[in-house]
């Protein structure tokens, strides 16, 4: 069974640009969650989608947004990038939301 | 606000030297406590879920236990391949968000 696939693996952007990250969950999983991982703050929850609806949202500014498609694939978008947005962005999928399986992440560097 | 505190921050072990990692937590209404392993440059790998005090789970050289305030991850006779960062997370009963601790980085020397 294929795991969670995140693309791209690496991204370099400049301040003020926007970026879209993609996540393909494990087949049959309907919940997709996004997390930001930084050395200073650790792993922090961004938002969770279930059957195309945002079910929960973390404490991040409105520049961070996401969506989920009917095939459960999800995208997250960060607009007006700031230096502090440099991080590893992790996607996790789950059947219902409880046990979450993570992808390898997208490493975003903002210059 | 959920709080998850892991100790120690780092642990250096000799191969075969057993030890324990601690995860203390404060959460209103626990659905489950999760242990993950993360290798450098990779996403967290699911290890265990514990749901109620007194529960124990084992996988190879790892054993996780849960009380009402903390969880322990015991590593028995570790090998160099057990070197990783071990993350603890809690999930509340009314949503599915995972709140993570900062992790314990374990290094096992041959």
Q: pLDDT tens digits for B35-93?
A: 999 999 999 999 999 999 999 999 999 999 999 999 999 999 999 999 999 999 999 99
Determine the length of chain A: 111
Residue A83 Cα distances to A15, A75, B37, angstroms? 6, 21, 28
**Which of B31, B95, B103 has the CB atom closest to A56's CB atom?**
B95
pLDDT of residue B1: 83
Mean pLDDT of all residues in chain A? Answer: 96
Backbone angles phi, psi at A84, to 5 degrees: -70, -5
List residues of A whose CB lies inside 8 A of any B CB. 4, 6, 31, 33, 35, 42-45, 48, 55-56, 58, 90, 92, 94, 96-105
Q: Do A104 and B42 touch (CB under 8 A)?
A: yes
Q: pLDDT tens digits for B90-109?
A: 999 988 999 999 999 999 99
- For chain A, the distance separating the N- and C-terminal CA atoms, rounded to the nearest angstrom, is 37
**Residue A96 reports pLDDT greater than 90:** no
**Residue A97 reports pLDDT greater than 90:** no
**Which of A4, A31, A104 has the CB atom closest to B96's CB atom?**
A31
pLDDT of residue A2: 83
**DSSP sequence for B29-85:** SEEEEEEEEE-TTS--EEEEEE-STT-EEEETTEEEEE-SSEEEEEE-S--GGG-EE
**Residue A42 reports pLDDT greater than 90:** yes
Cα of A35 vs its chain's centroid, Å: 6
């Amino acid at each position: 069974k294929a795991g969670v696939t995140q693309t791209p693996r690496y991204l370099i952007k400049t301040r003020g640009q926007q970026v879209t990250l993609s996540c393909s969950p494990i087949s049959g999983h309907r919940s997709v969650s996004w997390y930001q991982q930084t050395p200073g703050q650790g792993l922090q929850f961004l938002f969770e989608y279930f059957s195309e609806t945002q079910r929960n949202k973390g404490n991040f500014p409105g520049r961070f947004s996401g969506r989920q498609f009917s095939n459960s694939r999800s995208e997250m978008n960060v607009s007006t990038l700031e230096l502090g947005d440099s991080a590893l962005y992790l996607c996790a999928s789950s059947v219902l939301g409880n046990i979450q399986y993570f992808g390898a992440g997208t490493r975003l560097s903002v210059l | 606000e959920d709080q998850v505190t892991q100790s120690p921050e780092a642990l250096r072990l000799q191969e075969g030297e057993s030890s324990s990692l601690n995860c203390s937590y404060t959460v209103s209404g626990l659905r489950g406590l999760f242990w993950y392993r993360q290798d450098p440059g990779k996403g967290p790998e699911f290890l265990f879920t514990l749901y109620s005090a007194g529960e124990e789970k084992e996988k190879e050289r790892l054993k996780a236990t849960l009380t009402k305030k903390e969880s322990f991850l015991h590593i028995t006779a570790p090998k160099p391949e057990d070197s990783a960062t071990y993350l603890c997370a809690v999930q509340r009963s009314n949503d599915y968000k995972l709140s993570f601790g900062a992790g314990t980085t374990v290094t096992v020397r041959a």
